[in-house]
Amino acid sequence: MSQTTATSQVRLTLPDGSVREYPAGVTGREIAESIGPGLAKAAVAIRVDGTVRDLMFPIRGDAPIAILTERDRESLDVLRHSAAHIMATAVREIFPTAGIGFGPSIDEGFYYDFEVPRPFTPEDLEQIEARMAEVTRKDYPFVREEVDRDAANRRFADDPLKLERISELGDDEVISTYTDGTFTDLCRGPHVPSTGRLKHFKLLNTAGAYWRGDSRRQMLQRIYGTAFFKKDELEAHLHRLEEARRRDHRRLGRELDLFMFHPFAPGAPFWTDRGTTLYNLLNAFMRDLQRSGYQEIKTPLLYNKGLWEISGHWGKYKENMFLVLDNETGEHDSSLKPMNCPSHYLMYGANKHSYRELPIRYTTYDVLHRNEVSGALSGLTRVRQFQQDDCHIFLMPSQIPDEVRRLTQFILSYYQVFGLTATLKFATRPEVRIGDDAMWDAAEGALRSALEATGLPYELKPGDGAFYGPKIDFDVADSIGRTWQLGTIQLDYNAPERFDLKYVGEDNHDHRPVVIHRAVNGSFERFIAILIEHFAGLFPVWLAPEQVRVLPISDAQAAAAHAVADRMRAAGLRVAVDDSHETLNYRIRAGEVEKVPYMAVVGQREAESDSLALRVRGSGKKQEVLTVDAFLERVTGEVRTRALVP
Ligand SMILES: [Zn+2]
Ligand SMILES: [Zn+2]
């Protein structure tokens, strides 16, 4: 709070700019009541001088304030953190000796860590959830008390985790406790006024978690849950979680036989024939788009540390690189490349360039390695080995606006092909950075005016830029509303200095180019994970590893079915024939499980009339009979236009 007035009155400024006076020590609840009974009922918490407090918090100095209701985003955090307390209340009633760790709200809900003799079972969770419902029905107020250290130590004498935290609090810190019904917790707050405010919640899962995230300390049991103010919001969230589970690319990757992992190569996918087909299709598509105006190059995978010393990676990024032993020096002084940029600078710097050649756009799909800690690895979204659709553009400062417009259109139209919608974020200088303020002013100014010239809306992300320059990030929303950060356009004034890159200007003198780092997919691996989940494995026909499966009704049509398949292959389609001796229904079912877009059934009548009975994925038992030529025309057209069908 800004200052304490000499009198025992405080002057509080409301969001509409009006000022009200109250006795010092007034609480949010009293303020809300003084404004109106409607607000008093709706109030969840109060923001005092930028900090969210609960409604029982005494305000002792002048400050701007805002009463928060369910409509404010901060209120949801308050509700969820309160839900964590209510969960702890229930756990303590059922497991009276449970030790109590941390219980914060998180992005999509809350958790609490407990020290208990055994992991919680699904039955425990049900029981805890039922007990939480009782605690909310009793509508206990959250009672705040400020206590001194001795009182706090006495109160939590039976819980070593709490005692440890009390011992770390500074002497000038206020120690506060909150009690809701049978349970008292050491906490700073804020909380909702009473347990009855929690109405729509769900416990989701459990996980082991080290006390304080330290693997040398004891393992606690974490329970995750979520809570919302509105029932339909909770239901929509649970539905989204269920959808995400159903679409999980790790499961679908196995079921659709796309990739696998092996403990001998952690974080490095093995691509099956089908997965490799998918990978190559995406790569071919990107190559196609970059056929003109780009130079595709390949550079070495392994480098001497000298390169990383110039680029700054040896100092700042070494722990993320796979170091390699050099037999001649006996030292680990080489490394697999974690990114392509420095090798592209070497390539550019090897020749003299005229301003007339710029912009020069190098693109590369080389394999990269990053030494991610094994605990962070997850399916295809966090891997150690991957390939990017990487591009580095060398250009004159005056070319930045045109280039940024061109790249932005390129990236957005690429996402459109997959039915992904993107939002643009403009990220500015981070706290830890290289380069002086003048450089950053120039870089941010150039990128921002280039971005504004596109006419597209964007969000500002202050402090989120790369350490060498500002960037535009492309966040993409998938079919179930989750967002993923994919593409990026990063402006770099620093690398050209470090690598002494030049071009000869119109004036015949040397000048520094600017570098733009650009990626569209990010990595193919992660992009494929996103596509699998976005499409729930139902790839549009142009991307499906197997586009058509031909099914002869009986052996008598096997030869005709193979002939039809050959014609389809000749037309460029990826086709399999299932002439196994299973029943037709069984084979159709297998094709459905494997999510094949088209199944072409060939019976006697079809064989004689050069036609097929087509089953389209997602259309149930419906069959349409058409000639083989009509089928080829239709499907090759869909593939050529990359239509999002079937
Ligand atoms: Zn709390
Ligand atoms: Zn780069």
Write the pLDDT tens digit of every residue in 571-584.
999 999 999 999 99
Token digits of residue 169:
């609090």
CA dihedral of residues 565, 567, 568, 574 (deg, nearest 10):
70
Say yes or no to pLDDT of 137 above 90.
yes
The candidate with the shortest Cα–Cα distance to 299, out of 333, 335, 334, 345, is 345
Residue 390 CB neighbour total at 10 angstroms = 22
pLDDT band (50, 70, 90) for residue 327: confident
Is 392 one of the annotated active-site residues of the chain? yes
Residue 232 CB neighbour total at 10 angstroms = 9
Residue positions counted in the chain: 646
pLDDT band (50, 70, 90) for residue 312: confident
Domain with CATH 3.30.980.10 in the chain: 74-233
**Environment class of 290 (CB within 10 Å of its CB; exposed 0-12, middle 13-18, buried 19+):** middle
The partner residues of 421 in beta bridges, in order of sequence, read 477
Say yes or no to pLDDT of 515 above 90.
yes
* DSSP H stretches of helix in 358-425: 400-417
Query: Which residues lie below 8 Å from residue 89, measured CB to CB, with a gap of 6+?
Result: 132, 135, 180, 181, 182, 183, 195
Domain with CATH 3.10.20.30 in the chain: 9-69
Taking the C-alpha atoms of residue 116 and residue 208, their distance in angstroms, rounded to an integer, is 11
The candidate with the shortest Cα–Cα distance to 54, out of 40, 37, 64, 68, is 68
Topology adopted by domain 259-298+355-534: BirA Bifunctional Protein; domain 2 (3.30.930)
Centre of ligand 1 from the C-alpha of residue 163, in Å: 16
Between vectors from CA 370 to CA 368 and to CA 375, what angle results, nearest 5°? 140
- pLDDT attached to residue 1: 44
Task: Determine if the peptide bond prior to 37 is cis (ω within 30°).
Answer: no
pLDDT band (50, 70, 90) for residue 408: very high
Centre of ligand 2 from the C-alpha of residue 328, in Å: 30
Query: Once rounded to an integer, what is the mean pLDDT over residues 410-427?
Result: 94
Centre of ligand 1 from the C-alpha of residue 426, in Å: 35
Centre of ligand 1 from the C-alpha of residue 156, in Å: 15
pTM (global) more than 0.75: yes
Ligand nearest to the CA of 490: 2
Mean of the per-residue pLDDT values for the chain?
A: 93
Ligand nearest to the CA of 186: 1
Tokens 């159903």 -> residue: 246
Token digits of residue 608:
């004689």
**Environment class of 414 (CB within 10 Å of its CB; exposed 0-12, middle 13-18, buried 19+):** buried
Domain with CATH 3.30.930.10 in the chain: 259-298+355-534
Taking the C-alpha atoms of residue 603 and residue 257, their distance in angstroms, rounded to an integer, is 29
Residue 524 CB neighbour total at 10 angstroms = 21
Query: Which residues lie below 8 Å from residue 403, measured CB to CB, with a gap of 6+?
Result: 359, 393, 395, 450, 516
pLDDT band (50, 70, 90) for residue 449: confident
Say yes or no to pLDDT of 14 above 50.
yes
Query: Which residues lie below 8 Å from residue 514, measured CB to CB, with a gap of 6+?
Result: 394, 395, 396, 397, 400, 446, 491, 492, 493, 496
Poorest-confidence range of 5-14, 67-76, 443-452? 5-14
End-to-end CA separation in angstroms for the chain: 61
Taking the C-alpha atoms of residue 134 and residue 136, their distance in angstroms, rounded to an integer, is 5
pLDDT digits (tens, 9 = 90+) for 352-399: 999 999 999 999 999 999 998 877 788 999 999 999 999 999 999 889
pLDDT digits (tens, 9 = 90+) for 19-66: 999 999 999 999 999 999 999 999 999 999 999 999 988 899 999 999
Topology adopted by domain 548-640: Rossmann fold (3.40.50)
Residue 116 CB neighbour total at 10 angstroms = 15
**Residue 271 in contact with residue 280, Cβ under 8 Å?**
no
The partner residues of 30 in beta bridges, in order of sequence, read none
Is 187 one of the annotated active-site residues of the chain? no
Tokens 């002048």 -> residue: 62
Strands 503-504 and 548-552: unpaired
Say yes or no to pLDDT of 6 above 70.
no
Active-site option among 237, 471, 534, 595:
471
Taking the C-alpha atoms of residue 587 and residue 554, their distance in angstroms, rounded to an integer, is 12
Taking the C-alpha atoms of residue 635 and residue 619, their distance in angstroms, rounded to an integer, is 16
Is 341 one of the annotated active-site residues of the chain? yes
Centre of ligand 1 from the C-alpha of residue 102, in Å: 9
Centre of ligand 1 from the C-alpha of residue 482, in Å: 29
- pLDDT attached to residue 443: 85
How many H-runs (helices) and E-runs (strands) does the chain carry? 20, 34
Architecture of domain 74-233: 2-Layer Sandwich (3.30)
Token digits of residue 44:
């969840």
- pLDDT attached to residue 7: 59
pLDDT band (50, 70, 90) for residue 5: very low
Say yes or no to pLDDT of 128 above 50.
yes
pLDDT digits (tens, 9 = 90+) for 155-173: 898 888 888 988 888 888 8
The candidate with the shortest Cα–Cα distance to 118, out of 97, 135, 87, is 97
| Amino acid occupying residue 98 | A
Centre of ligand 1 from the C-alpha of residue 81, in Å: 6
Active-site option among 165, 191, 370, 617:
370
Active-site option among 92, 202, 517, 534:
517
Is 471 one of the annotated active-site residues of the chain? yes
Residue 573 CB neighbour total at 10 angstroms = 20
Taking the C-alpha atoms of residue 44 and residue 76, their distance in angstroms, rounded to an integer, is 9
Taking the C-alpha atoms of residue 401 and residue 399, their distance in angstroms, rounded to an integer, is 6
Domain with CATH 3.40.50.800 in the chain: 548-640
CATH number for the region 9-69 comes to 3.10.20.30
Active-site option among 390, 473, 492, 578:
390
H/E element, 550: strand 548-552
Taking the C-alpha atoms of residue 384 and residue 265, their distance in angstroms, rounded to an integer, is 9
Taking the C-alpha atoms of residue 153 and residue 237, their distance in angstroms, rounded to an integer, is 40
- pLDDT attached to residue 2: 47
Centre of ligand 2 from the C-alpha of residue 191, in Å: 45
